[in-house]
Structure 1
Amino acid sequence: MLAAPAVLTAVLLAFHQLVPNSPGHLGSLLESFLPWSGLVIAVLLGPALLRRSAVALLALLLPVAAWTYLFGGLLLPGAEPGAHHLVVVQHNVSDENTDPAGTARALAEAEPDLIALEELLPAALPAYERTLAPHYPYHAVVGTVGLWSQHPLTDAEELDIKPPGITEPWSRGLRAAVRTPHREIAVYVAHLPSVRLNAAGLASSRRDESADLLGKAVAAEKLNTVILLGDLNSTVDDRGLAPLVSQMNVPARGFAFSFPAAFPLARIDQIMARSATIGPIGTLPTTGSDHLPVIAGIGLD
C-alpha cells in the first residue's frame, strides 16, 4: 500500500519525459509541477514510520534519490554576488496593476542593470518611464513588453513570436543589443501565450508554438551572448520550452517560484542565457502584480 505509490513517484520523476503529451498535454502538466512531487514523499514517510515498514521505507529511497538528482542542486549555495557582471530583473507587471509607479520603484531599488517588463498597458507606460528614467536612461518598448537598461541600447526591434492561430493584433516580443562595459550582448524580452487547465488537460499548444518561434530566433542570433527574460508561461522542466532550454543555460540554484504571487506554485518567469552563466535566481517582494519579480546575476563567459 505504501511502497507502490513510492515506486510510482520515483518512476514519474525519473522518466517524466516518457509520459505522453497527447491527449491533453499530460506530460507538460506533470513537468510544470514536478518539484512538488516531493510532497508525496513527505506524505508517505509518516505512515511508513508508524507502521515500521522496512519495505515502505526502502521504497521511499527511490523517489528521494530521483528528486535529489533532479532538484537537490537548486538548494545548494551559489556564487557570491560580486562574481556577476550583470544583474537582471524579470517581471510581469500585470495589466490590472493599480500602482505602476510603486512597482517601478520596487524594481529599481534592487539596482539591476536590466529590467524586463511584460503586460505594459499604454495608460500605465508613462508611469514606468518617469519612475525608471533617473536610473535607467535607455529603454525600448514594443507592444506590451519593454526593456530598461543602465547601458546603451541599439537595434531595438519587434520579435515575431505570434502563433499562427492568433489573428488579432498581438506583439509580445522584443530584441535589442545592449552595449555593456564587457561586450555587446543581445537581450530578448518575451511573453508567451497563456495556458489553461481544463477538463481535457493542459491547453498549451499556442504557447508551445510561440516557444518554437522564439527558439528559432535565438538560434539565428548573430551576437554570441544572449540573455532571455520573459514570462514564458512555463517551467524549465516543461517540454514545451525544449526549443529554448536545449540551447540556453537556465539557473542551477534556486527555485524562485513566481506565480501566483499570493501563493507561488511555479516559476513561469524565466531568465535564460547563451554563452553566459546564471547565478542563483531569487524573487523580490510582491508588487501590485499577480506575479513576483525574479532576479539573478549573470556571469559573462
Structure 2
Amino acid sequence: MVRADSPTAATEGERPEPADGGGPDANRWSAGWSAVTRWFRGLSWRRGLVLAALAVLVALLFAFHASVPNTVGNLGSLLETFLPWLGLAVPVLLALALWRRSASALVAVLLPVAVWLHLFGGQLTDKSSGKGDFTVLSHNVAAQNQDRTATLKLLNGSGAQIVALEEVAGTDVPVYREGLAAAYPYHAVEGTVGLWSTYPISEVGVVDLQMGWTRAFRARVDTPQGPLAVYVAHLPSVRVKFDSGFTAGQRDRSARLLGEAIAHERLKKVVLLGDLNGTMNDRSLSPITAQMRSAQGAAGHGFGYSWPAGFPMARIDHIMSKGGLRPTDSRVLPADGSDHRAVTAEYRY
C-alpha cells in the first residue's frame, strides 16, 4: 500500500527537484571544474626543465640580440633581420609546456612574451596622425618585373608626389619615363635607380657605393613647403649560404658610404628612399639608421613587411628622414609585377 505523501505517489512529470537545486547543467559544470582542478594538480615544477631553459634562451636572444656576434657568418645580422619571427617559438613552447604539464615551462614562456611585446608591441597599433604636406614612395620594381603595366598603374595611382624606383633595367628606363610622364613631369635616372616628381628636381649627384656601377644618388627637390634633399639608394644584395653564412660584406661597406654622404648633407631636411637589403634592427645599417627616423616605425600600420611580395617576411624597403620632417602615415601597397612591394609615407614639412 502506498501512502499519499510518498514520493512514488507523485504524478508523472512532477518529480521533485534535488534538494541542492542542481541539475544536468550543474553536474556538467561540476565535472568540468573537477577536470580543470585535476589538470592543475598534475602540474609539476620538475618536469619540462629543458623547455623552460629553451624559453629563457629565446627571451635572452630577444633582449640581447645585439650581443650575438657577426664574426662567424654574420649571425647577428641574420638574427636581427628576422628577429620578430623568433616569436613563433613561443606558441610552440607553450603547446609543449601544456602537453608536458610543466609549471616551470609555463612560467618561463612568459619571459619571451614579455620581451617580444616590449620590442615589437608598439608595431601592432596604428600610429598614423593625419594628412601630411606631401607623399613619397619607394619601390624596387625588379629588373625581371613580370607585369610592368601593373607597376605603372600602381605608381600613377599612388597619389605620391615623389617616387623613387630601384633596380630599373636600362631597357626599362624608356618604359617608366613614358609611363610616368603625365603624372610626374620631373625625373632623374642614374644607373639603375631613378626619381620621379611632381616638384622640380635639381642638383643631382651620384653617391659612390664602390660597386662598379651607380646604385645611389642625391637630388634636391623643391616642394611648395621648401627644399628637400632626397637620397635614392639600392644597397647590394645579401645571401644566406651554408658554407659562409650571411654574406653581407659589400652591403655593409655601401651602408657606411651612404651614411657618410647623408651625414654631410648641407640641406636640413633629408629623405632617404630605397631598398637597403636590411631591416631597421640590423646593426650593420647603423651608419644610416643611427641618424635617420623610419617612417614605418613612427607612423606605420603593423610591421610593414615589403619582401618578398608574395608573402612578405621582412621590411628591407625603407623611407627614412631627418631634419624635423614628421611622418604622419606609412603604408605598404599591394603586390604588382615586382618581387618587392612598394612602400609610401606622408610627411609634414
Structure 2 length-normalised TM: 0.81
- Given that 1:100 and 1:288 are in contact with CA atoms closer than 8 Å, whether structure 2 keeps it comes out as yes
Structure 2: runs of 5 or more not aligned? 1-49
Partner of 1:70: 119
Please state how far the C-alpha of 1:280 moved relative to its aligned partner. 4.3
Partner of 1:230: 274
With over 3 angstroms needed to count, the CA separation of the structure-2 counterparts of 1:14 and 1:280, relative to structure 1, is farther
Q: Equivalent residues in 2 for 1:265-280 (5 A)?
A: 265-275=313-323, 276-280=325-329
Separation in structure 2 between the aligned mates of residue 202 and residue 52 of structure 1, nearest angstrom: 38
Matched, 1:203 2:252: no
Partner of 2:187: 139
Which amino acid is the alignment partner of residue 28 of structure 1? S
Separation in structure 2 between the aligned mates of residue 61 and residue 181 of structure 1, nearest angstrom: 51
Please state how far the C-alpha of 1:76 moved relative to its aligned partner. 1.2
Separation in structure 2 between the aligned mates of residue 113 and residue 101 of structure 1, nearest angstrom: 20
- Given that 2:128 and 2:330 are in contact with CA atoms closer than 8 Å, whether structure 1 keeps it comes out as no
Q: Aligned residue pairs: how many? A: 294
Please state how far the C-alpha of 1:206 moved relative to its aligned partner. 0.3
Report Cα offsets for 1:82-111 as digits up to 9, x if no partner: 1x2221111100011143233122122111
Separation in structure 2 between the aligned mates of residue 75 and residue 61 of structure 1, nearest angstrom: 19
Matched, 1:284 2:333: yes
Runs of 4 or more above 6 Å deviation = none
- Given that 1:249 and 1:277 are in contact with CA atoms closer than 8 Å, whether structure 2 keeps it comes out as no
Separation in structure 2 between the aligned mates of residue 125 and residue 26 of structure 1, nearest angstrom: 37
Partner of 1:185: 228
Q: Equivalent residues in 2 for 1:208-223 (5 A)?
A: 208-223=252-267
Report Cα offsets for 1:114-135 as digits up to 9, x if no partner: 1110111121111111111111
SS of residue in 2 equivalent to 1:281? strand
Please state how far the C-alpha of 1:80 moved relative to its aligned partner. 3.5
Partner of 1:156: 204
With over 3 angstroms needed to count, the CA separation of the structure-2 counterparts of 1:279 and 1:48, relative to structure 1, is farther
Which amino acid is the alignment partner of residue 58 of structure 2? T
With over 3 angstroms needed to count, the CA separation of the structure-2 counterparts of 1:277 and 1:49, relative to structure 1, is farther
- Given that 1:211 and 1:243 are in contact with CA atoms closer than 8 Å, whether structure 2 keeps it comes out as yes
Aligned with 1:129 (options 177, 195, 206): 177
CA RMSD of aligned residues (A): 1.4
Deviates more, 1:66-75 or 1:277-286: 277-286
Aligned with 2:218 (options 157, 160, 175): 175
Partner of 1:299: 348
Structure ID, larger Rg: 2
Matched, 1:34 2:78: no
Report Cα offsets for 1:47-85 as digits up to 9, x if no partner: 223444332222111111111111111111112441x22
Partner of 2:286: 242
- Given that 1:91 and 1:291 are in contact with CA atoms closer than 8 Å, whether structure 2 keeps it comes out as yes
Which amino acid is the alignment partner of residue 316 of structure 2? I
- Given that 1:118 and 1:146 are in contact with CA atoms closer than 8 Å, whether structure 2 keeps it comes out as yes
With over 3 angstroms needed to count, the CA separation of the structure-2 counterparts of 1:36 and 1:130, relative to structure 1, is same
Give me the identity figure in percent.
Answer: 50
- Given that 1:284 and 1:292 are in contact with CA atoms closer than 8 Å, whether structure 2 keeps it comes out as yes
Please state how far the C-alpha of 1:216 moved relative to its aligned partner. 0.1
Please state how far the C-alpha of 1:282 moved relative to its aligned partner. 2.4
Separation in structure 1 between the aligned mates of residue 221 and residue 72 of structure 2, nearest angstrom: 42
Separation in structure 2 between the aligned mates of residue 23 and residue 281 of structure 1, nearest angstrom: 35
